[in-house]
C-alpha cells in the first residue's frame, strides 16, 4: 500500500452482521463475577487453604470427642447383686456426674476376666455380704468413692430395716435454676466462638482476595481495557459478588462439615441450638463480608503495587482484628460493657454479636439494632468506597490520597 | 464516520486539548501524530470514556459515543494491560464476552484470533510466560477479538520488531478492507506514511495539519526544487535572486524558491554548469511536514 491510496468509499464489503449484542449491566457484573470464581477455584493455594480449614474443623471435633470420652459413663460389673444394688449404684452415679451401667456377672472369675479385658471399669463382689470387694485394674478414687458410698447406704438401709425403723421417703428437693439453660448457653457460646474464628479467617482471606484482585488489575493496567467496556461500579460489584459467593460457599461447606461432624460424634447435647448458632454466624458472615470487601476494595484501589497493599489494608483491618479479640472477651462475659457496646459497632458486630446471641445475652431488638446499624454502614461504605474506587482506579503510579480519590473525576 | 469534534481538556492549569477535531471514514486508516505530551493519548482516552472532555464530543455514525457504542470499539491502551496469570485463550474469550459476544462464539473467536496472530500454540499459556512481542500480539488480539466496528489503537507499533510491525500492519489493513475505521497513534512517521490514508498532526492542543498524505504533501510542496548537476561547482546557485539554498552536496542541491518564482530560470542557470540529470519539485517527507507543523510556533513541552 502506498501513501497515495485513497480511503475506500463508504460501506465496502462489510461481512456478516456483528456477532455481539450489547450486554446489560447485570451481564457485565455476572461476567466479572464468573471470572473471579473460575480463577480462584482453580488456584492451588486456595484449594489447599480450604482443605486445611476443613481439616482443622474436623480436628477440633475429634479433639472434643477424645476430651469428653471416658467421663461419660462407667460400667460396673456386679456379682451376687440385686435390683436394689443396681438402683443404688445408678443413683450414686448421678450424684457423681456419671452414667452408671450395671453389668451382672456370674462369679469372681468372670469378674476378673471382665475387668482385665476392660469390659467393665470395676467389678463389685458380694455387695450385700459382710465383706464386699471391688476389683479394679488400678485405683480410681472417684469410682472407689462411688462404690463405697453405695455399699454404705445399702448397709445402713438394711440395718435400719432390721431395727424396725420405718423410713418416710426423704423429701424431694425442688431445683429452681436462676439461669435457665446455663449449660446449653455455654455450649452454644463455644460453638459461636468457633464459628467466629472461621468467620474471621474467611473475612481476612476473602478481603485479601478482593484487595489483591483490585491491585492486580491496577498494576497490570488491564483495568483500562476493562473500563472501556463497563463502569467502575460494575467491575467492583462483580468482583465482590463473585468472591463473596465463593466465600459463602466455603462458609457453608465448613458449617455443614462441622454440624454433621458434631452430630455424628455426639459432641453437642442440643442439636437445635447448634444449628441455630451456626446459621446466625453465617448470616453475620454475609453482612461482615459486604462491609469489609467494600472497605478493602476502596483501600486497595489507592495503590498500584502489591507491595504497597499492606500500608492501606492494615488500617482498614484494625476494626476487624479488634472485633475478633473482643469476641473472646464476650464469650467469657457476654454482659460486660465492652462486649455490649462493641456488639453494636458496625464492623465489630459480626464477631461480637453472634457470641452474645449464643450466650443468650442479647435481646432480639438488640440484634435488630446491630443489623440495621451494619446495613446503614454498608450502604455508606459502598457509596464512599465506590467513589474512591472509581476515582483512584485509573490513577496508576504512586499512592493516591483518599481525599484526591474522592474528588477525582469519575468517568 | 468517526468524528472527533472540538475536544477540550485541561488538567489543572495545563490546557492539553484546545479544540481537537478530525474525522475518519469507514475503511480509512488514520495516523495520529504529535510530539510527546501533545495529547494523543488523552484524545483517545476521551473517546474510550476513560477521561471526560471539558467540551466537545466524539461521534460514531452521527451519534455521541456512549457506553454501548464503546463495546463496539476495539481499543489498545498505551499502557498495555492484560491479566498476567490468565491463559491467552481464556483471556481473549473473556474480552470478547465483555464486548457482548455469547460464550460459544467468544471461544471460537478467541481461538481464531490467536491463530491469525501466530499464537495458536501459546493459547494455553499464561500471558506472563510470553515474550513481550507475543504479549503485544495478545493485546492486539484482545482489541480485535470482538469484531469491532471501530479500532482505536494507542502506539500499537511501539516495541515491535520489523516482522511484528509487518504482521500488525497486515492485520490492520485487513480491518480497513472490512470497512472498519482505524485510528492509531505513532511516532514512526515512515510507518504512518506507508500505511495511512489520512494523517492528523496534533500540536499545541489542536490539529495543526490533517488530510490525506497526498493532500498534505501537495500543500507543503511547490516550494522546494531539487537539482542534480554533477559538474556544478559549489555555490553555483547562491547568486540567483529569490532563491535560498537549503542543502548542497556534490552537485545535488535543494533550493527553496519564493512563491511565483519562475523555475525555468533556475534550470537555465543550472544548465550553464553542465548536464542536469535531475530537476523536479520535491515532495516533502512526512517527517519534514511534521517538523514544520510542530515547530511552527512556541515549542511543545516534551513530556
Residues of chain B with C-beta less than 8 angstroms from the C-beta of A225: 75, 77, 81-82, 95, 142
Chain A: residue nearest B31 by CA?
A3
- Taking 90 as the threshold, does the pLDDT of residue A296 lie above it? yes
CA dist A351 and A359 (Å) reads 13
Query: Chain A: residue nearest B29 by CA?
Result: A7
In b/e form, how buried is each residue of B174-199, taking b as 16+ CB within 10 angstroms?
Answer: ebbebbbbbbbbbebbebbbbbbbbb
For the cut 80, the answer to whether the pLDDT of residue B297 exceeds it is no
pLDDT in tens, A32-91: 999 999 999 888 888 888 888 888 888 887 887 777 655 557 888 888 888 888 888 888
Q: What is the rounded average pLDDT of the residues A294-304?
A: 90
- Which of B147, B198, B212 minimises the CB distance to A19? B147
Whole-angstrom distance, CA of residue B195 vs CA of residue B165: 11
- Write down all domains in chain B, each with its CATH number in brackets: 2-213 (3.40.50.300), 222-282 (3.30.70)
Residue B302 main-chain phi, psi, to 5 deg: -70, 135
CB contact under 8 A, A35 and B95: no
Q: Determine contact, residues B116/B77, Cβ cutoff 8 Å.
A: no
In this prediction the ipTM stands at 0.80
Distance between B197 CA and the closest CA of chain A, angstroms: 6
Nearest chain B residue to A228 by CA: give it. B48
From the CB of residue A178, how many other CB atoms can be counted at a distance below 10 Å?
5
Three-class DSSP category at A20: strand
Q: pTM of the entire structure?
A: 0.75
Distance between B218 CA and the closest CA of chain A, angstroms: 11
User: What pLDDT is recorded for position A235?
Assistant: 92
φ, ψ at A165 (rounded to 5°): -80, 125
Instruction: Name the minimum distance, in Å, from the CA of B192 to any CA of chain A.
Output: 9
Between A170 and B34, name the one with better pLDDT. B34
| pLDDT value at B221 more than 80 | no
Shortest alpha-carbon distance between residue A40 and chain B (Å)? 11
Please answer yes or no on whether B98 and A14 come within 8 Å at the CB atom.
no
Query: How many residues in chain A?
Result: 411
B96 neighbors B145 (Cβ within 8 angstroms): yes
Count the Cβ atoms, other than its own, within 10 Å of residue B222.
14
pLDDT confidence of residue A386: 83
* Per-residue pLDDT at B303: 36
Strands (E), B170-233: 182-185, 198-203, 206-212, 224-228
| Range with the poorest average pLDDT among A39-48, A286-295, B94-103, B175-184 | A39-48
CA A289 to centroid of chain Cα atoms = 14
Give the pLDDT score at A349. Answer: 94
Question: Is-contact B207 B185, C-beta < 8 A?
Answer: no
- pLDDT confidence bin for B82, thresholds 50/70/90: very high
* Per-residue pLDDT at A368 exceeds 90: yes
A8 and B27 within 8 Å at the Cβ level: the answer is yes
Q: Is the Cβ pair B49, A19 closer than 8 Å? A: no
pLDDT at A352 over 90: yes
**Over 60: is that where the pLDDT of B298 sits?**
no
Q: Answer yes or no: is pLDDT of B268 > 70.
A: yes
Whether the per-residue pLDDT at A103 is higher than 60: the answer is yes
The H-or-E segment that residue A67 falls in is: helix A44-68
Residue-wise pLDDT tens digits, B276-295: 899 888 777 788 778 777 77
Measured distance CA(B87)–CA(B127) in Å, rounded: 6
**pLDDT for the residue numbered A11:** 42
Q: Does residue A203 carry a pLDDT above 90?
A: yes
Give me the residue from B71, B85, B94 closest to A20, CB to CB.
Answer: B71
| Phi (first) and psi of residue A299, to 5 degrees | -65, -45
> How far is residue B224's CA from residue A263's CA, in Å, rounded to a whole number?
96
Say whether pLDDT at B106 is over 90: yes
Long-range contacts of A305-314 (CB under 8 A, 24+ apart): A305/A215, A305/A219, A306/A212, A306/A215, A306/A216, A306/A219, A308/A215, A308/A399, A309/A211, A309/A212, A309/A215, A311/A399, A312/A399, A313/A207, A313/A208, A313/A211
DSSP for B73-137, please give it.
EEEE-SS----TTSBHHHHHHHHHHHTTB-HHHHHHHHHHHHHHTT-GGGTTSBGGGS-HHHHHH
Question: Nearest CA to CA, how far is B270 from chain A (Å)?
Answer: 31
**Using a CB-CB distance cutoff of 8 angstroms, which residues of chain B are in contact with residue A28?**
98
**B73 contact residues in A (CB cutoff 8 A):** 228
Nearest CA in chain A to B146: A20
Does the structure show a pLDDT above 70 at A206? Answer: yes
- What average pLDDT does this structure show over B117-143? 90
Chain B residues touching residue A15 (CB < 8 angstroms):
178
Question: Are A13 and B98 a contacting pair at CB < 8 A?
Answer: no
User: Under 8 Å CB-to-CB from A91, ≥6 apart: which residues?
Assistant: none
Q: Which chain B residues touch A14 with a CB distance below 8 Å?
A: 178-179
What 3-state class would DSSP assign to B38? coil
In Å, how far are A399, A400, A407, B68 from A403, measured between CA atoms?
Answer: 12, 8, 6, 31
Span B113-135, average pLDDT: 89
Closest chain B residue to the Cα of A35, Cα to Cα: B94
Inspect the interface and report whether the beta carbons of B147 and A230 lie closer than 8 Å: no
Q: Do A10 and B212 touch (CB under 8 A)?
A: no
Residue B75: its chain A contacts at CB < 8 A?
A: 225, 228
Q: How many CB atoms lie within 10 A of CB B263?
A: 16
Residue B20: pLDDT above 50?
yes
Under the banding of pLDDT at 50, 70 and 90, the label for residue A265 is confident
- A13/B68 touch (CB, cutoff 8 Å), yes or no: no
Q: How many CB pairs under 8 A join A and B?
A: 131
Average model confidence (pLDDT) across chain A? 83
Q: What is the mean pLDDT of chain B?
A: 87
Nearest to A18 among B26, B51, B149 (CB): B149
Q: pLDDT confidence of B299, banded at 50, 70, 90?
A: very low
pLDDT the model gives residue A31:
94
Going from the C-alpha of B207 to that of each of A48, B5, B136, B257, the distances in angstroms are 58, 11, 29, 27
Interface test mutation site (partner A, options B71, B98, B126, B145, max chain A beta carbons within 10 A): B98
- pLDDT digits over B169-199, tens only? 998 999 999 999 999 999 888 888 889 989 9
Q: Measured between CB atoms, which of B85, B177, B213 is closest to A3? A: B213
pLDDT band at A178 (very low <50, low <70, confident <90, very high): low
Question: Could you tell me where in chain A the CATH 3.40.190.10 domains are found?
Answer: 73-162
Conformational region of residue B256, where left means phi above 0, alpha means psi within -120 to 50, and beta covers everything else: beta
Rounded average pLDDT over A254-279: 84
Q: Which of A10, A15, A222 sits opposite B81 (nearest CB)?
A: A222
Partners of A22 on chain B (C-beta within 8 Å) are 68, 71, 100
Q: Please tell me the predicted confidence (pLDDT) of residue A69.
A: 58
Confidence of residue A409 (pLDDT cuts 50, 70, 90): low
Q: What nine digits make up the cell of A227?
A: 473500563
Chain A residues within 8 angstroms (CB to CB) of chain B: 1-15, 18-23, 28, 31, 35, 39, 216-217, 220-231, 394, 396, 409, 411
Q: Which cell is B110 given?
A: 478467541
Closest of B162, B212, B158 to residue B41, by C-alpha: B158
Write the burial class of residue B272 (CB in 10 Å: 0-12 exposed, 13-18 middle, 19+ buried): exposed
Indicate the pairing of strand B55-60 with strand B2-11. antiparallel
Q: Name which of B67, B72, B212 is nearest A18 (Cβ-Cβ).
A: B72
Percent of chain A with pLDDT over 70: 91
Share of chain B above pLDDT 70, in %: 96
Q: In the prediction, which pLDDT does A181 show?
A: 65
| CA proximity to B255, closest of B289, B276, B279 | B279
Which CATH number does A73-162 carry? 3.40.190.10
Residue A370: in which H helix or E strand, if any?
A: helix A364-392
Percent of chain A with pLDDT over 90: 30
**Predicted local distance difference test score (pLDDT) of residue B301:** 41
- What residues of chain B lie within 8 A of the CB of A11, using their CB? 26, 179
Amino acid at each position: 500500500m502506498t501513501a497515495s491510496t485513497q480511503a475506500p468509499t463508504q460501506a465496502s464489503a462489510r461481512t456478516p452482521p456483528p456477532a455481539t449484542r450489547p450486554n446489560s449491566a447485570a451481564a457485565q457484573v455476572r461476567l466479572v463475577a464468573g471470572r473471579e470464581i473460575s480463577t480462584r477455584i482453580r488456584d492451588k493455594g486456595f484449594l489447599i487453604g480450604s482443605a486445611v480449614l476443613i481439616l482443622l474443623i474436623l480436628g477440633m471435633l475429634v479433639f472434643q470427642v477424645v476430651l469428653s470420652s471416658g467421663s461419660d459413663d462407667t460400667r460396673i460389673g456386679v456379682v451376687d447383686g440385686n435390683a436394689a444394688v443396681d438402683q443404688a449404684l445408678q443413683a450414686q452415679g448421678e450424684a457423681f456426674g456419671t452414667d452408671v451401667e450395671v453389668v451382672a456377672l456370674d462369679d469372681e472369675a468372670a469378674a476378673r476376666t471382665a475387668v482385665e479385658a476392660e469390659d467393665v471399669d470395676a467389678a463389685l463382689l458380694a455387695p450385700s455380704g459382710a465383706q464386699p470387694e471391688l476389683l479394679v485394674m488400678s485405683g480410681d478414687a472417684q469410682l472407689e468413692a462411688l462404690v463405697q458410698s453405695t455399699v454404705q447406704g445399702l448397709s445402713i438401709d438394711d440395718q435400719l430395716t432390721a431395727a424396725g425403723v420405718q423410713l418416710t421417703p426423704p423429701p424431694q428437693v425442688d431445683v429452681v435454676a436462676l439461669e435457665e439453660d446455663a449449660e446449653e448457653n455455654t455450649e452454644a457460646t463455644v460453638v459461636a466462638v468457633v464459628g467466629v474464628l472461621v468467620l474471621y479467617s474467611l473475612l481476612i482471606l476473602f478481603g485479601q482476595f478482593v484487595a489483591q484482585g483490585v491491585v492486580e488489575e491496577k498494576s497490570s493496567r488491564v483495568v483500562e481495557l476493562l473500563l472501556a467496556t463497563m463502569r467502575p461500579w460494575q467491575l467492583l460489584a462483580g468482583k465482590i459478588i463473585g468472591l463473596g459467593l465463593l466465600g459463602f460457599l466455603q462458609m457453608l461447606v465448613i458449617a455443614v462439615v462441622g454440624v454433621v461432624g458434631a452430630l455424628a460424634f455426639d459432641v453437642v447435647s442440643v442439636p437445635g441450638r447448634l444449628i441455630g448458632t451456626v446459621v446466625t454466624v453465617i448470616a453475620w458472615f454475609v453482612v461482615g463480608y459486604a462491609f469489609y470487601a467494600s472497605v478493602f476494595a476502596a483501600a486497595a484501589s489507592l495503590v498500584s503495587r502489591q507491595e504497597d497493599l499492606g500500608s492501606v489494608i492494615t488500617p482498614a483491618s484494625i476494626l476487624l482484628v479488634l472485633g475478633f479479640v473482643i469476641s473472646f472477651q464476650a464469650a467469657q462475659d457476654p454482659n460486660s460493657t465492652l462486649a455490649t457496646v462493641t456488639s453494636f459497632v458496625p464492623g465489630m458486630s459480626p464477631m461480637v454479636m453472634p457470641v452474645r446471641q449464643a450466650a443468650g445475652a442479647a435481646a432480639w431488638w438488640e440484634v435488630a439494632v446491630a443489623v440495621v446499624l451494619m446495613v446503614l454502614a454498608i450502604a455508606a461504605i459502598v457509596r464512599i468506597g465506590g467513589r474512591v474506587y472509581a476515582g483512584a482506579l485509573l490513577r496508576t503510579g504512586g499512592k493516591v490520597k483518599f481525599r484526591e480519590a474522592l474528588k477525582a473525576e469519575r468517568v | 464516520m468517526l468524528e472527533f469534534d472540538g475536544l477540550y481538556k485541561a488538567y489543572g492549569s495545563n490546557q492539553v486539548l484546545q479544540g481537537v477535531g478530525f474525522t475518519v471514514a469507514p475503511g480509512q486508516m488514520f495516523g495520529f501524530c504529535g510530539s510527546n505530551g501533545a495529547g494523543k493519548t488523552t484524545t483517545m482516552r476521551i473517546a474510550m470514556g476513560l477521561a471526560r472532555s471539558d467540551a466537545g464530543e466524539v461521534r460514531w455514525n452521527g451519534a455521541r459515543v456512549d457506553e454501548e457504542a464503546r463495546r463496539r470499539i476495539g481499543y489498545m491502551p498505551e499502557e498495555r494491560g492484560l491479566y498476567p496469570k490468565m491463559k491467552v485463550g481464556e483471556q481473549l474469550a473473556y474480552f470478547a464476552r465483555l464486548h457482548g459476544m455469547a460464550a460459544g462464539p467468544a471461544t471460537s473467536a478467541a481461538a481464531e484470533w490467536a491463530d491469525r496472530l501466530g499464537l495458536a500454540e501459546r493459547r494455553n499459556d499464561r500471558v506472563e510466560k510470553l515474550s513481550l512481542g507475543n504479549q503485544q500480539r495478545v493485546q492486539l488480539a484482545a482489541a480485535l477479538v470482538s469484531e469491532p466496528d471501530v479500532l482505536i489503537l494507542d502506539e500499537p507499533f511501539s516495541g515491535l520488531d520489523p516482522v511484528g510491525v509487518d504482521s500488525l500492519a497486515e492485520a490492520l489493513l485487513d480491518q480497513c478492507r472490512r470497512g472498519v475505521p482505524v485510528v492509531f497513534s505513532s511516532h514512526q512517521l515512515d510507518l504512518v506514511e506507508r500505511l495511512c490514508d489520512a494523517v492528523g498532526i496534533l500540536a499545541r492542543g489542536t490539529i495543526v495539519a490533517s488530510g490525506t498524505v497526498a493532500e498534505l504533501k501537495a500543500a507543503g510542496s511547490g516550494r522546494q526544487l531539487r537539482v542534480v548537476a554533477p559538474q556544478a561547482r559549489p555555490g553555483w546557485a547562491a547568486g540567483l535572486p529569490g532563491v535560498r539554498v537549503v542543502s548542497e552536496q556534490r552537485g545535488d542541491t535543494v533550493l527553496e524558491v519564493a512563491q511565483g518564482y519562475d523555475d525555468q530560470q533556475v534550470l537555465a542557470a543550472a544548465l550553464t554548469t553542465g548536464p542536469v540529470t535531475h530537476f523536479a519539485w520535491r515532495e516533502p517527507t512526512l517527517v519534514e511536514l511534521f517538523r514544520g507543523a510542530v515547530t511552527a510556533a512556541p515549542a511543545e513541552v516534551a513530556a
